[in-house]
Structure 1
C-alpha cells in the first residue's frame, strides 16, 4: 500500500495474485527465495518484510530490551518500566511479539517497585492476550507471576487457585527443573500449597549452595555494553549485555532457591513428626546463601529467625537465642513479623528457663501492631503463637487479644471473651 502497488504488480511474472493474497492474509509463509524477491520489488530488506523491523532497528531494540532487564534486576525498577514502555511504543502493532514481551517487562517492573495492584492489572491483561494469541505469550509464567502478586496483596484464596492452575500445567509438562520450576515452587511455598511439588523441585535442585555476589561483574559488563552502544557497535553491545545478564542469573536463582528452602523449613518445623534434621539443613543453607547478598538483608534476617525456630524445636536453646539475636542485630530497620518472630523465640526460651518472658512478648506485640504489610497466614501464626506464649506466661487478657488479632489476620472477626483453645485451632 505504501508503494501504491497492486497485488498483480507485486506478483509480477513469477508469482500468482492469489499467492500474494494468501501471504498477506497469513495463510502462507513465503520461502526465503520468495521473501527476497518480494523485498526487492517493495524496496525494503527481507528482515523488514519478515519481522516488521529493519536489521539495525532490530538489534537496537534487542539491546534496549537487555538494558531494560539489567535495570530491572540490577538497577532502578522505575527506570526499567520506562525503558520497557518505550519499547512497547516503538514496536507498535507491526511487531506484536516484541511489544508483548516488553509489556511483560513493564508488569515485572511494577511488581519490583511494590505497585502490586497495578502489576496484577498488567498481568491479567497479558493473560487475556496470551489466551487470544498463544504464539505471542506463554500463559504459565504469567500465572506464576499472578499467584505471587495476589499472595503479596493478601488475596490468599486467589493466589492458591492460580498456584493450583500453574501446578496442573507444570505436572502435565513434567517441569521440575529450570527457572520456571524454581519460580513456581517459590510462589507455591509462599502460599503454603503444592508442597509435594516444592519437595520435588528441592530434590531436583538439591540443597541451596553459597553463590558469590556478582554485582560488580554485572555492572562492569553493563557499563561496557553502554560504551559499545555509544560507539555504535550494537552487536558487541548486545553480547556484553547478555553476558551481564548471564553473570547475574546464577545469583538470582541461588536467592530464589534459598527462599524456597527457608519457607519449607518454616512450614514443616512445627508439623507432626517433622523432619527437623532436614529442616535444619535447608534453613542453614538458606541463611548461608542469603548472607552473601547485601541486598537481601531482610530475607537473611528472616532465614536466621526460621533457623532459630528450627533449633528451638530441636532442643538447642543456646543456638536458638544466638540466631534470634543475630537477626535482630542484622539491621535496625527490621520490622513486622520477622523481628516479632525473633522476640517470640527469645520469649519461648525465657519461659523454658522459668525467666520473665513479658518484655520479649510485649516487644513482639509492638512490632506486630506496627506491621503495615498485608495480613497473611504468617502474620496470623505469629499472633497465635504470641497468644500461646501469653497463656503460658499466665496473662489471659493478653492471650485473648492476641488470638483475636490472629483471627482478624485471616479475615475472621469474632469477640473472644477469654483464652480459648478453639480460637487457636481455627488458625492452625
Structure 2
C-alpha cells in the first residue's frame, strides 16, 4: 500500500509540475473520459490513472508515459547524452559556439543526467568559453569543477583543471591569480608525495609560463631546473618536450634568442610523434617567433611554420592563439617589406581579439601602426598609436604592459617622433616599477636603440599549456 501511495504521489506531482510549466489548467487536460475532478484527484495523489489515461495525459503535457510513472525518461536522457556528445565533437572541430549551445541545452536538464555526464558537459562548456575568449565565464566553470568535492587532488582530472584555471587567469591578464593558483596546486601536489605524472609536470610548466609573464625569471628558472630532472627520470618524451618548451620562454625573456630557438627545436622533436595538434601548433608559432627574434632570413621556413600553426589553431586553438599567429604573420610581412600584407594580418588579429586581452590587442595595433608608417600613412599611423595607448591604459602596471609601452615608444622613435616616444618610455618605466624620469634624454634626437631597425612590438610566444607571455624583444 505504501508503494502504491508513493507511486500516486509521484505521478500527481510530476503531472502538476509539467502542466503548470506549460501554462495549462486542469480544465485543459479534460476529455470525454477525463473530468476536472479526476485530474485533481490524480494530482493530489488520490488516484492512480490507467495506462490509457497516462498516455493521454503524457501527450497533453509533452512527456512520455515512463516519465509520468517513474520520473525518468530514458528517451529524453539519451537525447541529452547525444547533445553532450555533439558538444564534444563540435569542440574538437573548432565549432565552439555550437559546443556551448549543445552543452548548455544538456546542462539545463542536469537532474536527468548522471553526475559524470554533467561534469563532462561543464568542462566542455568551460573549454569552449575559453576558446571563444569568454574568459570570465570559463574561469567561473573551471573554478566550480576544481573546488568540487568530487575532484580529488593529485588525480589527472585535478591537474588538468588546475592547468586550465591557471591558464585562463593568465590569459585574462590576472597575473596574481594565475601564479597563486599554479603555486598553490604545485605545493599541494608536493604535500601529497605522489610520483609525478605527465599531467603533474604540465602543471609545473604552466606555472613557469606564469612566472615568465610576471617577470619573475629566477623562480621560473628554478622550476625549469627542478622539472628537467623530474622529466628525465620519468623518461616521457611529452614531459621532456614540455619542459624544453618552457625553458625556451625563460631563455627568450633573457634575450638569449639562439638558446630559445634550440630548446624549441628540441621540444618539437620530442613532441613530433604525439597527436596533440594544439601543442604542435603553438610550438611552431613559437619557433617562427624565435627565428624572427634571431634575425633569421629564412623566410620560407618561418612562413611554413606559421602556416602549419595557423591550420592547427583554426582546428583546435582559441581566438587568442589564432590572433597570435596572425600577428606573427604581420611581423614577417614587415620584415619582408610588405606593409599591406602586414596591415591585413594585423587587422585579422585585432578582429579575433574583439577588444579583449588589452596587451595582445595593443601589440597587434603596434604592428598595424608600423605598417601604416611604412606606407607613408602618417595620419592613420598616429590614430592607431593613440588606440594603442588607450588599450594599454586598461592594463595595470605590470611587466607585460611595460613591454608593449616600451615597444610602442620604439615605433614612435624609429619614425621620427622622439617626444611621443619619451612619453611612452616613461609609462614603460612606471610599469616596470621604476620612478618616472624628470629629464628628457631625447631632447636631441638620438638613434633608435635597435640600430635604426623600426621596432614593431614584443613577439608573442605561447607556453606549453597555451599561455602567452609578452617577453621583451626586438621583433622586426
Could you tell me the TM-score, scaled by structure 2's length?
Answer: 0.49
> Is contact 1:81-1:109 (8 Å) kept?
no
* 1:254 CA displacement: 4.5
- Aligned partner of 2:428 in structure 1 is 406
Gap runs ≥5 in structure 2: 4-71, 183-201, 207-226, 255-259, 356-360, 443-448, 450-470
User: Counterparts in 2 of 1:58-77, with a 5 A limit?
Assistant: 62-72=81-91, 73-74=94-95, 75-77=97-99
1:147 aligns with 2:166: yes
- Aligned partner of 2:367 in structure 1 is 342
* 1:159 CA displacement: 3.4
* 1:323 CA displacement: 3.6
- 3-state SS of the aligned residue for 2:391? coil
Aligned residues: 316
* 1:340 CA displacement: 1.9
- Aligned partner of 2:458 in structure 1 is none
1:327 to 327, 330, 345: 345
The answer to which structure, 1 or 2, has the higher relative contact order (CA under 8 A, 6+ apart) is 2
1:90 to 112, 136, 143: 112
* 1:57 CA displacement: 8.3
Q: Distance in 2 between matches of 1:58 and 1:135?
A: 32
The Cα offsets for residues 60-114 of structure 1, whole Å up to 9 and x where unpaired, read as 564332122235442435414413524643335xx4x333333322322443454
1:99 aligns with 2:118: yes
User: Counterparts in 2 of 1:193-212, with a 5 A limit?
Assistant: 199-206=265-272
Q: 1:298 to 1:367 in 2, by over 3 A?
A: farther
Name the larger-Rg structure.
2
1:165 to 190, 194, 204: 204
1:156 aligns with 2:175: yes
1:306 aligns with 2:372: no
1:387 aligns with 2:409: yes
* 1:398 CA displacement: 0.6
- Aligned partner of 1:371 in structure 2 is 391
> Is contact 2:84-2:106 (8 Å) kept?
yes
Q: Distance in 2 between matches of 1:165 and 1:148?
A: 12
* 1:402 CA displacement: 1.5
The CA RMSD over aligned residues, in Å, is: 5.4
User: Counterparts in 2 of 1:14-413, with a 5 A limit?
Assistant: 62-72=81-91, 73-74=94-95, 75-86=97-108, 88-91=110-113, 95=115, 97-129=116-148, 133=152, 138-159=157-178, 162=182, 165-166=204-205, 168=227, 171=231, 176-177=237-238, 199-206=265-272, 254=277, 257-266=280-289, 269-270=292-293, 274=294, 276=296, 281-287=301-307, 290=310, 293=314, 302-310=324-332, 317-319=336-338, 321=339, 323-328=341-346, 333=351, 336-346=361-371, 359=379, 361-371=381-391, 380-407=402-429, 410=431, 412=433
> Is contact 1:261-1:283 (8 Å) kept?
no
* 1:264 CA displacement: 4.2
* 1:153 CA displacement: 1.4
The Cα offsets for residues 242-296 of structure 1, whole Å up to 9 and x where unpaired, read as xxxxxxxx8xx646533432244335633xxx27367862454223552795999
The Cα offsets for residues 375-420 of structure 1, whole Å up to 9 and x where unpaired, read as 7866543331221232344533211222234356x57485344556
Q: Distance in 1 between matches of 2:134 and 2:173?
A: 14
Could you tell me the TM-score, scaled by structure 1's length?
Answer: 0.54
* 1:202 CA displacement: 2.1
- 3-state SS of the aligned residue for 2:337? helix
